[in-house]
A = this chain, B = another copy of it.
Amino acid sequence: MPYTYEFPRPSLTVDCVVFGLDQQSMQLQLMLIERKLTPFQGMWALPGGFVRMEESLEEAALRELREETGIDKVYLEQLYTFGDVNRDPRDRVVTVAYYALVNLWEHPIFAATDASDAAWFTVNQLPPLAFDHERLVQVALTRLKGKVRYEPIGFELLPKKFTLSQLQRLYEIVLGQELDKRNFRKKILKMDLLVQLDETQKEVSHRAARLYQFDEDKYRQLKKNGFNFEL
């Protein structure tokens, strides 16, 4: 082994910024874990942990998510790698951050998990966080805002069948601005990526809305031919 491989090595972790959308309040939620160990014992932190030698970074992120929150099949994407020298007070720790989008309708809050120390928080009412995790959350929010406009990832936060109003509210929340109902509908329907279902909403005390589904196959097809999703 040449000399170069013998440099001292920083620790390597993954952290996950997990977003969900609350059905009642239609507010963005963030999954946090209460720390049991020092440093920052008792504080809230992002789910995450050390990368093992035999797993890729993405595998590590998925494993930590499963172990710490019970969350299993979600949209997961690498966000950014944070490596400032003093981000951990005790040792040099570099963390590869991922962000995940969870459908809270089909994975209800506190789904089968033994992690009783995991909880959802509204993103603009977060407790103080351990390490530089507030920064990771900020970066993730910025990325989400940017990406949601030109990739159809918003659907990951909704149930498979959703109403146009739900979709619109999602965009309003993530982008932080109101949208015109008629223009929104025209634009999104013209893309021809939503299939209208023969079902309607149930158990609402007003006119029931039509349900739609996102057509992923069609999107992949169109994308290949140079189509760009853009809201």
Give A37's nearest chain B residue, CB to CB. B2
Instruction: Indicate with 1 or 0, residue by residue over A29-72, a CB within 8 angstroms of chain B CB atoms.
Output: 00000000110000000000111111111100000000000000
| Residues A90 and B5 in contact, CB atoms below 8 Å apart | yes
Nearest Cβ in chain B — how far from A207, in angstroms?
36
A8's partner among B38, B53, B55 (CB-CB below 8 A) is B53
How many residues on the A side are at the interface (Cβ–Cβ under 8 A)?
Answer: 33
Give A97's nearest chain B residue, CB to CB. B81
- Looking at chain A's contact residues, the main secondary structure is loop
User: Does residue A80 face the partner (Cβ distance < 8 Å to B)?
Assistant: yes
User: Does residue A178 face the partner (Cβ distance < 8 Å to B)?
Assistant: no
Nearest Cβ in chain B — how far from A224, in angstroms?
15
In whole angstroms, what is the CA distance A85 to B51 when docked?
11
In whole angstroms, what is the CA distance A85 to B4 when docked?
19
Closest 6 CB pairs between A and B?
A57-B83, A9-B9, A7-B50, A81-B81, A81-B96, A56-B84
